[in-house]
Amino acid sequence: MTGPQRREQLITIGRRLFAEKGFEGTTVEEIAASAEVSKPVIYEHFGGKEGLYAVVVDREISALLSSITEALTKPGHARLLLERAAMALLDYIETSTDGFRILVRDSSPGQSTGSFASLISDVATQVEHILAAEFKRRKLDPKMAPLYAQMLVGMVATPGGWWLDSRKFKKEDVAAHLVNLAWNGLAGMEAKPRLREKPDKG
């Protein structure tokens, strides 16, 4: 096996083990045993478990962001873009189940990248300009678009994890209902929302 082939083998095995057991529950010994190599081979390629984990996470983030970005950059009405983004996320969850399970776990100690929260933030950034344009069209404050983008993406991502475990509904139905809540919620938004009850400052 060549060096690049060995590296890919270790990434595949690490991805499976991290999905099953999490970062903390996976050991270098397990990865080495599964790959039928010695531990130094892993250190040679990745510097340790942390390095392998970082490569796995970066690949998953790139794959998911790429599919969502592609969905959002095709021309179409704002609702259609929302539908495409929801389907892109659900497609990823369905076809890259191990990757999604890794992303929704906490990052390993000392890792600044890879947390699901940071991923959601990256995806939300892709959505902001679409919402800002829609806000302007509806005479709403476009400066609030980043906040709504975070809420919108989170609203799609969290049910996605639930759907992965339950699989009670068809993927297309899940996407349709997500868009139903998001779009019809956006359609009825107030220009200057206020809480009906003032917060207790006590």
Q: What is the mean pLDDT of residues 132-149?
A: 84
Q: Are 113 and 107 in contact (CB under 8 A)?
A: yes
For position 157, what pLDDT does the model report?
Answer: 76
Q: Which domains does the chain have, with CATH numbers?
A: 57-188 (1.10.357.10)
* CA 88/CA 92 separation, integer angstroms: 6
DSSP per residue over 99-121, as a string?
HHHHHHSPPPTT--S--HHHHHH
Closest by CA to 155, choosing from 60, 85, 53, is 85
**Which residues, 6 or more positions from 154, have their beta carbon under 8 angstroms from its beta carbon?**
120, 124
pLDDT tens digit sequence for 38-76: 999 999 999 999 999 999 988 988 888 888 888 878 888
Given a contact cutoff of 8 angstroms between Cβ atoms, the answer to whether 151 and 127 are in contact is no
Taking the model in full, what pTM does it have? 0.77
